[in-house]
């Protein structure tokens, strides 16, 4: 319980609000231009890594609810649970030190993407009939034309889109962590602070 309270300080809640806005803002970009990606978990992953699993889960869950309530993406609420799980996974990988290098960050994104694809496909197929109003609908149509049923087409689309999307997301967060001041990261008591510092030093030595 004490650990839970530590995740929900005034500063952390403010970061969660920023994360929610970031999720929705970045998530709108692929929808507007028709890209078969999402980019709607950047804030969730950042909060999960910096603050912890509960904060990451709440950020992901609330972002999808707010997104629905704004009317920008009415279907988003259906994946709120998946978004929460992404926040938890981000915290797990962060605490395990996976976001201290580019390669491990990408691998963490790959694993998270596979999990997200498996969880999301049945929702898209059975709740929305495979059509979600996003750029990924094109891929679903391609797989349907290839002979897959609705669940199979959504699963195939997820396996193509989700791992790539989450790899991009985790690598972006890794880059953000490297750029953030140590004083800022230290406010969360996160192990990421020291780890990203060591990673930056190793990268600097290699360049020399």
- Does the residue 205 lie in any domain? no
The CATH number that applies at residue 118 is 1.10.1760.20
Provide the pLDDT for residue 205. Answer: 58
Predicted TM-score (pTM) of the model is 0.90
- Does the residue 63 lie in any domain? yes
Show Cβ contacts of residue 45 under 8 Å, excluding neighbours closer than 6 positions: 56, 86, 87, 90, 169, 170, 173
- Does the residue 106 lie in any domain? yes
List the one residue out of 31, 37, 30 whose CA is nearest residue 165: 37
Provide the pLDDT for residue 130. Answer: 93
> Where in the sequence is the domain holding 111, given as residue range(s)?
2-180
- Does the residue 43 lie in any domain? yes
Other beta carbons less than 10 A from residue 201's beta carbon? 10
Provide the pLDDT for residue 1. Answer: 64
What is the DSSP-derived secondary structure letter of residue 76?
G
Digits of tens for pLDDT over the chain (208 positions)? 667 888 999 999 999 999 999 999 999 999 999 999 999 999 999 999 999 999 999 999 999 999 999 999 999 999 999 999 999 999 999 999 999 999 999 999 999 999 999 999 999 999 999 989 889 999 999 999 999 999 999 999 999 999 999 999 999 999 999 999 988 888 886 556 555 555 555 555 555 5
- Does the residue 204 lie in any domain? no
In angstroms, what CA-CA distances link 7 with 1, 54, 58, 94, 192?
10, 7, 11, 15, 15
Provide the pLDDT for residue 192. Answer: 66
In angstroms, what CA-CA distances link 170 with 30, 70, 124, 137?
17, 26, 24, 24
Provide the pLDDT for residue 5. Answer: 81
- Does the residue 192 lie in any domain? no
What is the DSSP-derived secondary structure letter of residue 78?
G
- Does the residue 35 lie in any domain? yes
Provide the pLDDT for residue 206. Answer: 58
- Does the residue 203 lie in any domain? no
- Structurally, the chain folds into a number of domains equal to 1
């Amino acid at each position: 319980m004490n650990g839970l309270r530590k995740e929900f300080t005034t500063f952390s809640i403010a970061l969660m609000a920023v994360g929610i806005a970031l999720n929705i803002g970045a998530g709108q970009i692929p929808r507007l231009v028709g890209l078969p990606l999402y980019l709607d978990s950047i804030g969730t992953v950042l909060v999960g890594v910096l603050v912890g699993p509960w904060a990451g889960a709440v950020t992901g869950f609330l972002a999808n609810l707010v997104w629905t309530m704004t009317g920008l993406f009415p279907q988003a609420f259906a994946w709120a649970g998946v978004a929460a799980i992404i926040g938890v996974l981000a915290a797990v990988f962060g605490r395990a030190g996976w976001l201290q290098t580019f390669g491990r960050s990408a691998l963490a994104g790959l694993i998270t993407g596979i999990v997200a694809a498996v969880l999301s496909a049945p929702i898209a197929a059975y709740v929305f009939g495979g059509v979600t109003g996003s750029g990924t609908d094109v891929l679903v149509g391609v797989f349907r034309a290839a002979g897959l049923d609705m669940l199979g087409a959504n699963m195939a689309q997820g396996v193509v889109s989700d791992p790539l999307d989450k790899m991009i997301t985790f690598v972006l967060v890794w880059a953000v962590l490297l750029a953030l001041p140590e004083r800022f990261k230290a406010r969360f008591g996160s192990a990421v602070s020291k780890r990203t510092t060591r990673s930056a030093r190793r990268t600097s030595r290699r360049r020399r």
